[in-house]
Structure 1
């Protein structure tokens, strides 16, 4: 891979022609995907129209120069154009010989189909058109001219395409024909005249000088890099770090030349199924935009075998060569001009999840790629499609889409709209599937979230409470749906002009973020022989273990089937919402802690019994595998109702239980609310102020481990202390943990023992700094990257998403969402520091892992794979296969970088 400084020393324009090119496929960052592959096709000797590529670096410079071509670039373009003219054998825009005309196309390093601009037939004016007519035919020349006038006005001058479409439609109607190809020479002359009239009427000017047209066309393509649709595409697809688009200036070849001409697009394999056959469409007597516009219905590529059998054979040979050479399924564009085939573009073809899996495994079987290469061919989104329920026909529901938000948790959900957690649980008890619709969710909603088939919120980001919990449970979730207006009192929501009442059916596509009115048909995902084979290849190359974040025995069993090698995070607080009895006991405990700590015994014992049963079930599900249990972490006020009748009833109940007045209870509970709870009374601070909470939870873990062992289960508890910032905090909690374990084993008899490990969650910057001291006392560090990101950046993850993070990304202040992909420069630097110091403090005998949400993000996993001593990542159950794939790809990339 070239560095930026190396790229700056290269030419700003690269010429390609059949049999020769200076460009290479590994120069994709500089030449763009299209330019690099054009160079490669030319080098392979395919019949590629000659051309030149202006590099992506020039797009970056163009923006810096205020929308002007950088100094000296135009001279470089003219010099490169001379080489193209020589290769073509005719001069650009000649008024005497057959003129060379040009196409000007975009081409970023990452494919962005349809997002940026193109100008075809560039170089025509009245004189050049007349000359072209003399050497070919008047009808053909006029057809090219009217296309240029339309595209130039649209792309370069910013005029409405509809102005020209209206004139063309009027001429077709007057001529009594349906398609442009049926227009006569006279009709096309009329079209050209009417287009010129549009120019005059709207003050538009197309330069008569073909070279000025070219200069303006290159500038227009560079400008299109920052059009709203291109920016939005990059946001949606998380395309970051690119310098801009390259510009490909290429000799025109003409699919509209005659009835023995045409244009088409084909894939070397079926992009929907992966079937090994040429797949695509072509259109006779047309240019490329005709296929895209859909004015005429293209023919299946197979029909070329009948219409142009020799050309079909040549196309098949070319595409087969490209697939074998580039070692991936290809998406090719081609033009047939009067019986001669030209290859215009190739790129790795976009495909569905099922197709990606089949292409990768088939290519291994065919000997085209190795198993390691196949692992790199399947993307995380492909596994998402394979592992989550999907809508049976996404095209069919398109008219019913009423809004969209963040695709927070993948999959498809259908259910009846409800607006409270209580209603969600009640409706589910009646056998109904429901979608929980909220402004935002809180731990108070967990029961309803668990009951719901899907979750829709009007606020919150990709790591909001709703998103994190939904992913952990594998529930489709759409967050941050800005247009969603909720009226809780009326039990209605309005989105996209549609009013949704309680009980109305709605569908969520958590993979795309779409909200769809009505009940859409679903199809279940299932494991396949191909997927199992592929995952064996994945596991053979990865070096990081993949654990899961889950809180119930059912989720643990699911995660284990998905390939989890243990549990990296059990969030004990999630267990508290499993039933009304549990949350009541927790609230009694909180009330006692605040009013009369001596009265907390009964509620603590009740919670301990609940937790012991849960932990025992998890140990059994994870028999022989590590189970990392985080002690209580959230602020206590999150377990309390916030207002209204529920809070009033709780205050009255606690007053009765504690034999005190309601005003006292109300005052004490109110004191729990904090201005900044993320940095407040939570984590180890709770356990230090109320050690009985830590002791209760550890006793539950120890009793569960002994019970599991008695049942023949190999229980491996790893007890994790959260939010440590100092060695004294850690030592305090270690003493409490060890004393509680000792009490349980002593009570069980002299033969009882528990093989447990003790660790801490590294989630504060100070913990990273003092990691060497902490490591002396523990067996493992687990990085809580969610909170570490918040504290390092000083961002509240929900508020940042709602108020400024999108703006930052859109305007280049921040390239990506740091709560979705780890911030390597900041958070990553702290993690490296903590790892290195921790390993030094423990003489290398320290296990390192990641349990934050980043543990399921492939780009983050690539970084974690590089951190010294890192042994595992942990993620939600449904993301386990994706994390396995990410870990394998990270290992392969690291090995390649070292080679």
Structure 2
């Protein structure tokens, strides 16, 4: 049978290649085995493969006999390595049980520490450690964690009991409590378990172990994990591994500690050790922000003006060993590492290493500097970057000279700036954001259950926690500004109010966060546009050097065109002309055209629109001079332009001379039951050719006027939308050619242009060979092609698509990332048949998928010539196109 339980450390054999495969043993398991193999101090343990999680969930929560036997054998490996027995009352082996998916999902799945403690083994731990306080503290931690994770008892009940115990004794901090205090609290904790769980806290260590393994497997399918996977495009069928490891203790007095550290600064990318530690603590104290951590290095402490000694000063020998490990691991993995460590009575132990999450700015700096250091090459640097993370760099930041009413300061946990309304819980933040409000999530500290609210928020503020707290790590990964551990933030959830510094605020009030400086400000602060030079510019140069596909933009205003060119767009892939018709100055003429009773009436209204359209196109051509510009002729159903308000009908009546009742009747005649599949696109051009005549004339006259003014000639690519047959395109192409000839004759100027179509109907994809005989280009409109292929309205799908993704019916939202198995087949078929009929057929994509990295990789594989994305996604598309080309060339 295939091995699914892999021992590591303690002299274990690490030669099986599956043990280094993250898909098999998860990222944590693979890295633990790798660290042990290269001789680093890793507590011995074993990893249960991800396939066992998948099998467990598929089998309804059962463990096979083979798995139980393999775990028992692997537990024996740990016992032999450390010289202790699991469940031994005199000298017990304790273990940790941690999750470990193939990609990092910080805080999303469950962990249990100190497993194996019970009423008997706690006495053995006290005797062998010589520290009864430590033993009983560890037991109460275990009960709280196990009861929360495995038994489903609210952890807040235990926190409340701890606070009561401290108040009764007059203690200010946990560290003041003695062994008898912790022992009494253990009794209180066990009583809570009985009251809430209905049964005593489990005493048998093997029962504890299998309960924890079950909880880790179950946590893969928890609500918070499903949300995280959906937000980060992680397939639900991967499963998680389980890592069982001998415990080492950071809470054994002043010579013990725990910490989280990075080999480079994850916020700025600076090549400097970065992290936090706590004396006499366990890892949960750092990550969860339960205690305020201390600085790792002397330089960081002095820069912050902090008094508690850094690890470098307080534990110089352990710090020196940690610094050696930092250097070794970064050179070994050739990437910035995120390391969890424990110091047990002066001895350093490594609990985890992984490629650290970082801000987009830090990722760019690290990539450029690591290439400069010779650590990696350009190819590796490009493939390592997350294209979607670039979005963090493409939006405004706070104006440094704008007035700031600083309410308080905290830790600069994740850079960037955001303004929004205060929301005090995740559900409320999500609900307000869904209504279009900008929100800031404010919490005492975040937990994994807050993941949906953190994603909905523009920024995150916490009263507690450090630079490696849950809020900080997740915010950096999401690209959200975060200020953690802010001074003077108190929240009254019952009243939905809070105080920040000296200011009394209420939910819904506006604040601004500066995640780079750790400042919290009243109201909204002015922003400035980003500068796209330095490391960003270097990476974009690399991307352009390695990509094959061109990158265009979807834009229909000069401002959008200028922004897109600044971001490196190489033309327009989609200019939606209908957006121009909604302008308040021309909507009346548009409505007159639509409601006209005959062709003469329509032409009279269109004559009013011609100069406006000509000016629109000239302004765009001036910005995009010399570049191809794909212009889609009028596409949406006419009812979208019609009035609905009484005032609009009255205004239209004055303009046309028709009575209001006549106009209402005419509007009702144009009503369609299913307008998105009705009288729209090329069907408008076939039935009302004068509309497309006017638009074609405006395009050619604008281009000729620009050439006459001495500007570089644009290259108009006129797109006919919603074509289903060759005949439709043939008729409308002839119309456009006729108008072009007329304008060229009148102006004495000729402009190079081509006519093509948008492939957005399944029939068009199937008949692409015939349609290509009339088309010089195809642009795949994957928004509508997805809609018509799946039979799903993109305007209404949000009601159920989230459930479909959670249940694995769709791996991803098909309107965000292309449905390659279904819609992708149509794109590939159309490309193949189109080029078979016309070898020089230009192929591109202009749906929203043109800015999605996974969809761009598919476009590269199919051989499309370009992708087109919204202006702010142009850099994302440039990087993704380079990654697709590099991956294809492997």
TM-score interval, normalised by the smaller of the two chains: 0.7 to 0.9
Question: How far is 1:406 from its partner?
Answer: 9.7
Q: Does 1:735 align with 2:734?
A: yes
- 1-side partners of 2:92 and 2:30: how far apart? 27
Q: Does 1:812 align with 2:808?
A: yes
Which residue pairs with 2:108 in the alignment?
A: 115
Which residue pairs with 1:789 in the alignment?
A: 786
Q: Do the aligned residues in 1 keep the contact of 2:844 with 2:867 (CA within 8 Å)?
A: yes
Which residue pairs with 2:585 in the alignment?
A: 581
Q: Provide Cα deviations, 1:658-695, integer angstroms capped at 9, x if missing partner.
A: xx555443322221111111100000000000111111
Residue of structure 1 aligned with 2:769, choices 757, 763, 772: 772
Residues 63-102 of structure 1: matches in 2 within 5 Å? 63-96=57-90, 98-102=91-95
- 2-side partners of 1:124 and 1:636: how far apart? 72
Q: Do the aligned residues in 2 keep the contact of 1:357 with 1:530 (CA within 8 Å)?
A: yes
- 1-side partners of 2:660 and 2:140: how far apart? 83
Q: Do the aligned residues in 1 keep the contact of 2:773 with 2:837 (CA within 8 Å)?
A: yes
- 2-side partners of 1:410 and 1:372: how far apart? 40
Question: How far is 1:86 from its partner?
Answer: 2.4
Question: How far is 1:853 from its partner?
Answer: 1.0
CA separation of 1:361 and 1:411: change in aligned 2, threshold 3 A: farther
Question: How far is 1:242 from its partner?
Answer: 4.1
Question: How far is 1:524 from its partner?
Answer: 4.0
Residue of structure 1 aligned with 2:644, choices 632, 642, 645: 642
Q: Secondary structure at the match of 1:546?
A: strand
Which residue pairs with 1:723 in the alignment?
A: 722
Residues 618-697 of structure 1: matches in 2 within 5 Å? 618-654=620-656, 656=657, 662-697=660-695
Q: Does 1:532 align with 2:534?
A: no
Q: Do the aligned residues in 2 keep the contact of 1:153 with 1:204 (CA within 8 Å)?
A: no
CA separation of 1:333 and 1:520: change in aligned 2, threshold 3 A: same
Residues 7-406 of structure 1: matches in 2 within 5 Å? 10-17=2-9, 20-21=13-14, 22=16, 27-96=21-90, 98-137=91-130, 138-202=132-196, 203-302=198-297, 303-390=310-397, 399=422, 403-404=429-430
CA separation of 1:252 and 1:188: change in aligned 2, threshold 3 A: same
Q: Secondary structure at the match of 2:569?
A: coil
- 2-side partners of 1:853 and 1:315: how far apart? 46
Residue of structure 2 aligned with 1:590, choices 594, 599, 608: 594
Question: How far is 1:728 from its partner?
Answer: 1.0
Worse-superposed segment, 703-712 or 252-261: 703-712
Question: How far is 1:91 from its partner?
Answer: 2.3
Q: Do the aligned residues in 2 keep the contact of 1:51 with 1:250 (CA within 8 Å)?
A: yes
- 1-side partners of 2:667 and 2:359: how far apart? 52
Residue of structure 2 aligned with 1:704, choices 696, 702, 717: 702
Question: How far is 1:497 from its partner?
Answer: 11
- 2-side partners of 1:159 and 1:115: how far apart? 18
Q: Does 1:856 align with 2:876?
A: no
Q: Do the aligned residues in 2 keep the contact of 1:263 with 1:284 (CA within 8 Å)?
A: yes
Q: Do the aligned residues in 2 keep the contact of 1:157 with 1:204 (CA within 8 Å)?
A: no
CA separation of 1:11 and 1:128: change in aligned 2, threshold 3 A: same
Q: Provide Cα deviations, 1:344-386, integer angstroms capped at 9, x if missing partner.
A: 0111211122211211111111111111211223223431111
Q: Do the aligned residues in 2 keep the contact of 1:786 with 1:852 (CA within 8 Å)?
A: yes
Q: Do the aligned residues in 1 keep the contact of 2:190 with 2:200 (CA within 8 Å)?
A: no
TM-score normalised to structure 2 length: 0.84
Question: How far is 1:201 from its partner?
Answer: 3.9
Which residue pairs with 1:828 in the alignment?
A: 824
Question: How far is 1:538 from its partner?
Answer: 1.2
TM-score normalised to structure 1 length: 0.83
- 2-side partners of 1:200 and 1:700: how far apart? 79
CA separation of 1:570 and 1:398: change in aligned 2, threshold 3 A: closer
Q: Do the aligned residues in 2 keep the contact of 1:562 with 1:880 (CA within 8 Å)?
A: yes
- 2-side partners of 1:507 and 1:777: how far apart? 57
- 2-side partners of 1:847 and 1:412: how far apart? 41
- 2-side partners of 1:188 and 1:665: how far apart? 81
Q: Do the aligned residues in 1 keep the contact of 2:421 with 2:439 (CA within 8 Å)?
A: no
- 2-side partners of 1:141 and 1:736: how far apart? 87
Provide the aligned C-alpha RMSD in A. Answer: 2.8
- 2-side partners of 1:199 and 1:716: how far apart? 73
Q: Provide Cα deviations, 1:152-171, integer angstroms capped at 9, x if missing partner.
A: 21111111222322333333
- 1-side partners of 2:348 and 2:205: how far apart? 27
Which residue pairs with 2:836 in the alignment?
A: 840
Question: How far is 1:268 from its partner?
Answer: 0.9
CA separation of 1:13 and 1:162: change in aligned 2, threshold 3 A: same
Question: How far is 1:193 from its partner?
Answer: 2.6
Q: Secondary structure at the match of 1:825?
A: coil
Q: Do the aligned residues in 2 keep the contact of 1:25 with 1:37 (CA within 8 Å)?
A: no
- Size of the aligned set, in residue pairs, is 786
Question: How far is 1:71 from its partner?
Answer: 4.5
CA separation of 1:229 and 1:691: change in aligned 2, threshold 3 A: same
Q: Do the aligned residues in 2 keep the contact of 1:569 with 1:630 (CA within 8 Å)?
A: yes
Q: Do the aligned residues in 1 keep the contact of 2:772 with 2:841 (CA within 8 Å)?
A: yes
Which residue pairs with 1:566 in the alignment?
A: 571
Q: Provide Cα deviations, 1:122-176, integer angstroms capped at 9, x if missing partner.
A: 1122222222222222332222222222222111111122232233333333443
Which residue pairs with 2:453 in the alignment?
A: none
- 1-side partners of 2:294 and 2:846: how far apart? 52
Q: Do the aligned residues in 2 keep the contact of 1:102 with 1:122 (CA within 8 Å)?
A: yes
Q: Do the aligned residues in 2 keep the contact of 1:809 with 1:816 (CA within 8 Å)?
A: yes
Q: Do the aligned residues in 2 keep the contact of 1:652 with 1:662 (CA within 8 Å)?
A: no
5+ unaligned residues in a row in structure 1: which ranges? Answer: 1-8, 415-453, 455-475, 477-495, 499-503
Q: Provide Cα deviations, 1:389-429, integer angstroms capped at 9, x if missing partner.
A: 14687699784566336989999899xxxxxxxxxxxxxxx
- 2-side partners of 1:573 and 1:819: how far apart? 22
Question: How far is 1:120 from its partner?
Answer: 0.8
- 1-side partners of 2:856 and 2:522: how far apart? 37
Q: Provide Cα deviations, 1:532-558, integer angstroms capped at 9, x if missing partner.
A: 111101111111100011112232222
Which residue pairs with 2:448 in the alignment?
A: none
CA separation of 1:517 and 1:310: change in aligned 2, threshold 3 A: closer
5+ unaligned residues in a row in structure 2: which ranges? Answer: 298-309, 399-414, 441-457, 459-479, 481-495, 499-507, 516-520
- 1-side partners of 2:396 and 2:726: how far apart? 47
CA separation of 1:409 and 1:695: change in aligned 2, threshold 3 A: farther
Q: Secondary structure at the match of 2:353?
A: strand
Q: Do the aligned residues in 1 keep the contact of 2:99 with 2:216 (CA within 8 Å)?
A: yes
Q: Secondary structure at the match of 2:774?
A: coil
CA separation of 1:678 and 1:398: change in aligned 2, threshold 3 A: closer
Q: Do the aligned residues in 1 keep the contact of 2:649 with 2:663 (CA within 8 Å)?
A: no
Q: Provide Cα deviations, 1:808-845, integer angstroms capped at 9, x if missing partner.
A: 22333322111111110111010000001111111x21
